[in-house]
Structure 1
Amino acid sequence: MSSPESNVIIVGGGVFGLSTALWLARGGYKNVTIFDRCDFEKNHYNPSNGCDGASADINKIFRATYGSKSHSQDLALEARDIWLEWNQAIKNSDPSELPDPLTPEDELLTLCGVFHLADGPELIDLYNENLRVMGETAPSFRDLQFVKNSDSDERRVNSLGPNWAKKYHRFDTFRDGRTNGFLDAGSGITLADKVMPRFFFYLSWVNFYQACVYARHICLKAGVKFILGRPQGDIKSLIVDESGSSKRVTGIQTQDGLRHNADLVIVACGPWSSSLIPDAHRSVEATMGTVMFVDVPSDRQDLRARFHPDNFPVWRFLEGEGDSAYEGGGFPITKEGRIKFGFRARKFTNFQAHPSQESLKISTPRTKYSPNPINTVPLYGLKQMKRVIGGLFPELTEIGFTDSRLCWYTDSIDNEFVIDYVPGYSDSLFICTGGSGHGFKFLPILGKYVKNQLERNPDRFTPLWKWRTVEEGKKCNGLEEGETGPRDMSKLKLASPHDFHFRINSPL
């Protein structure tokens, strides 16, 4: 078990690694070092500069509604308070005190609103539950949520001002009005562009990879050390000592051949975690969502104004069940004119031989920056997105999708995080992952509760985040499928550049 005197190595400098390091250092830990193959000192977590982890993206959703999972709702609201504190700290900073490229004009959290939509005229059970739990446990936040097609809620949202009234009615005509949902004015997005003037941030989002830049900055101030880039920050293997009665991890070896000793190694590698810990391949799995972009030309100021965050919220849309389901959404336009759309109802896998155990196959991320790079997406997801987005925004079909990205998540068997000691290593190896597509928003606060698990101080998250694996005969979020499952990329047809275009006047 760890203590403030422990020599701690954290493998992975994304959300889980940064938050853990920050709370350990602030809790008195004197020797915490983060290793990562990405040189965040130079690329600032920017996905266009070679970063391909889930913690590097142009924007992400911040939401607080979790239905009956009140523990996640409470964690999001606790994180939200710290996001706003960080905003104020940045605003009050001298420019020389901030890490490049942050300035005092930047905000990490801005609340532009999230519109939760679903197919059909009646509010779906999930949304009813979201609103009920929020009303019972956080009534002041519930006051910021407005049900679609409600006269009383329309009056309430109008009191917030004309921009919120526009957002409330933004999806009125979609499917001839036969949609349900609610606008959450207390939530927003993460956005990567840091140079927008403050008037652009009318309401609320999180400046995504700049948030990681700031988190790394305050980690450094707290005493956390970083070894970044290839080969010195790139992990080759764990060092495992099996000479005693029980095996222990005694450190890591990096690709430059150096060995780094540690009392405790924390693996926070996201979808690469099982590549380093083979034992975890039935506990977490790398799965891929489909992300598409529309780049609106500068001469289409009408479209840039329509999708501007002053006038347009984040949106999510749910439809159907099973393989035919749609779960996806989109974001306001960035300053450069880029609109991002995501689809994740059916997430895909990529089974390859494990790097240290060739007899074992695990799902392994494949990105634009992998040794075998990929610059397209599965055709299945793209067709679904064209159908829904073409119906929502026919004005964008003439432009078509202009770029794509495979976004790799780390799914657990139940979408709860996996934050615990790995069995069989005498409390020398700890895993901190399983974001399951909803981990980033917790960056400011997650490490507080990771520290509890490290020090074996039970809290409400302990039974939820404990080490667990696939149970035979049960559905476990797709992890039960393994390499023979239908979602593996080897079984998929990939989209061609022609498929990025919408066929005008075709049925959607």
Structure 2
Amino acid sequence: MTTPESRVIIVGGGVFGLSTALWLARGGYTDVTIFDRCNFDTNYYNPADGCDGASADINKIFRATYGSQEHSQDLALEARDIWLEWNRAIKESHPSDLPRPLTPEDELLTLCGVYHLADGPTMIPRYVENLRVMEDTAPSFRNLQFIKNNTDDEKRAGAHGPEWAKKFHLFDKFKDGVTNGFLDAGSGITLADKACVYARYLCQKAGVKFVLGRPHGELDHLITEGNGSDKRIKGIRTCDGLAHAADLVVVACGPWTAAVLPEAHRSVEATMGTVMFIDVPEDRKDLRDKFHPDNIPVWRFIQGEGEGGYEGGGFPITREGRLKFGFRARKFTNFQDHPTEGNIRISTPRTKYSPEPINTVPLYGLGLMKQVIGGLFPELAEIGFTDSRLCWYTDSIDNEFLIDYVPGYSDSLFICTGGSGHGFKFLPVLGKYVKNQLERVPDRFTPIWKWRTVEEGKQCNGLEEGEAGPREMSKLKLANPQDFQFPVKGSVLSDRLQRLNVAPNEKSQL
């Protein structure tokens, strides 16, 4: 069993690796080292500077509504308290005491609100359940949530502050007012890249060591010793040829996890969401003010299900003037040969920084994004999308994390992954419960996060599809630079986009 005297190597310096290392070090572990191929000490998790993991991003949604998944709701609320503690600590710090590029003015969590929207006049079941569970289990947080088109909640929002009265009505005219949902004033956005920088700083203060950058921080392979019941992982070998001994290796490689651990290829899968950006010029102060966090919340919109359905949203503007929008109704895959197991094909991330880089997105998602965003904010259409990103996540078979010992390695190999697109918000607290699993201290998460694989004959979050599934990128048409512009009203492309939701069989032709 893992103890504070164990030599622990963590492969991966994103959310799962950082949080695990922080809580181990603060819990008395004296020999914890994180290895990562990215130079986080000099690129500061900046997605524009070579970082392509999901943790390296300009911002992420913080929400606490999880419906019947009370364990995730409670974990989010616990994390929220620590996020706000981090805010206070940063604000009270002298600039020279903070890691670059943080300043005392930075808020790692900004409670600008999250507006959960959906198509149609009646509250969708997901939102009904979210509010019901919050009312039953966290009524003080429920008091910060205001139902759209509800007169009493309109008054409550106004009583919470004049800015919330304005935010409550921001989307009244969208789709001619035929939408439902609620505004959550207790939620907002995290500064993802700077949050990782701060977590790494806290790790270093607690005694965690880092080996970063190629080739010395890049994993080549796990060092295995013995066979059968005696098989163990003895450490890792990095791409500079050096061996690093450990009593325990924690694989926290996000969407690259299955490439490191072939045993995990039926437990987790790399899937991609479409992310688009609009860079608002400095001279457009009107737009920079309109989309400032003081004036607009994060928004999420759900329309339909399956083919032609939309699930995505947008963020307030950054200090640099960048607006971010995401789409994840269909989660794309990219199957390639496994790097070490010739008989296995796995979904593998392909990004701007891959050996075969990609600088565009699937046209399918982009078309839906233009339709929704153009309807919400027509004033942005004249600028058009200015940049894109394929954001690769690690989906588990049920969207719950995979945090457990890997079977067959005598407790020498541990997996910590499966963020499934919602893991970032737990950065401050996740490692507290990872430590429990490492030390085999049962808690409410133990049966939920345990090792599990695809069950034949069952739907398993798309992992049952394999390469033949409809989400495979090789089957998709990718966008050209001209597709980043919004269509002129009345054009052929505009007409075809309008038909997206009523004629799913046309999508593959776009």
**TM-score, normalised to structure 1's length?**
0.96
Gaps in structure 2 of 5+ consecutive residues: 499-510
Give the aligned partner of residue 502 of structure 2: none
Residue 354 of structure 1 pairs with residue 319 of structure 2:
no
Report matched runs for 1:73-84 at 5 Å: 73-84=73-84
Deviates most, 15-24 or 394-403: 394-403
Inter-CA distance 502–85: structure 2 relative to 1 (3 Å threshold): same
Residue 491 of structure 1 pairs with residue 469 of structure 2:
no
Deviates most, 427-436 or 99-108: 99-108
Give the aligned partner of residue 44 of structure 2: 44
Residue 415 of structure 1 pairs with residue 402 of structure 2:
no
Shift of 1:48: 0.9
Give the aligned partner of residue 189 of structure 1: 189
The letter of the residue matching 1:170 is L
- The CA deviation string for residues 204-228 of structure 1, in whole angstroms up to 9 with x for no partner, is xxx2211111100110111100000
Query: Partners of 1:99 and 1:396 in 2: how far apart?
Result: 35
Give the aligned partner of residue 253 of structure 1: 237
The letter of the residue matching 2:446 is T
Q: Where has structure 1 moved over 6 Å in runs of 4 or more?
A: none
Query: Partners of 1:8 and 1:335 in 2: how far apart?
Result: 38
Give the aligned partner of residue 122 of structure 2: 122
Query: Partners of 1:188 and 1:331 in 2: how far apart?
Result: 9
Query: Partners of 1:105 and 1:311 in 2: how far apart?
Result: 19
Give the aligned partner of residue 339 of structure 1: 323
Query: Partners of 2:282 and 2:95 in 1: how far apart?
Result: 31
Query: Partners of 2:345 and 2:472 in 1: how far apart?
Result: 12
The SS at the match of 1:122 is: coil
The letter of the residue matching 1:308 is H
Give the aligned partner of residue 203 of structure 1: none
RMSD of the TM alignment (CA)? 1.0
Report matched runs for 1:230-241 at 5 Å: 230-241=214-225
CA contact (8 A) 2:16 2:416 kept: yes
Query: Partners of 1:93 and 1:303 in 2: how far apart?
Result: 32
CA contact (8 A) 2:34 2:211 kept: yes
Query: Partners of 1:244 and 1:465 in 2: how far apart?
Result: 25
Give the aligned partner of residue 141 of structure 1: 141
Query: Partners of 1:503 and 1:379 in 2: how far apart?
Result: 13
The SS at the match of 2:273 is: strand
Shift of 1:245: 4.4
Give the aligned partner of residue 23 of structure 2: 23
Give the aligned partner of residue 34 of structure 1: 34
Shift of 1:386: 1.0
Partner residue of 1:321 out of 290, 305, 324: 305
Query: Partners of 1:382 and 1:53 in 2: how far apart?
Result: 21
The SS at the match of 1:116 is: strand
Query: Partners of 1:263 and 1:419 in 2: how far apart?
Result: 18
Identity of counterpart residues, as a percentage? 77
Give the aligned partner of residue 501 of structure 2: none
The letter of the residue matching 1:347 is K
Give the aligned partner of residue 6 of structure 1: 6
Partner residue of 2:371 out of 373, 377, 387: 387
Query: Partners of 1:252 and 1:63 in 2: how far apart?
Result: 37
Give the aligned partner of residue 169 of structure 2: 169
Query: Partners of 2:206 and 2:283 in 1: how far apart?
Result: 47
Partner residue of 1:223 out of 199, 207, 210: 207
Inter-CA distance 347–245: structure 2 relative to 1 (3 Å threshold): closer
Give the aligned partner of residue 465 of structure 1: 449
Partner residue of 1:212 out of 157, 175, 196: 196
The letter of the residue matching 2:300 is R
Give the aligned partner of residue 97 of structure 1: 97
Shift of 1:243: 4.9
The SS at the match of 1:282 is: coil
Query: Partners of 2:107 and 2:30 in 1: how far apart?
Result: 30
The SS at the match of 2:160 is: coil
Query: Partners of 2:162 and 2:8 in 1: how far apart?
Result: 52
Shift of 1:323: 2.2
The SS at the match of 2:55 is: coil
The SS at the match of 1:83 is: helix
Shift of 1:244: 6.9
Partner residue of 2:270 out of 286, 291, 312: 286
Gaps in structure 1 of 5+ consecutive residues: 191-206
Query: Partners of 1:352 and 1:153 in 2: how far apart?
Result: 51
Query: Partners of 2:344 and 2:228 in 1: how far apart?
Result: 26
Give the aligned partner of residue 153 of structure 1: 153
Deviates most, 87-96 or 227-236: 87-96
The SS at the match of 1:159 is: helix
The SS at the match of 1:322 is: coil
Shift of 1:20: 0.2
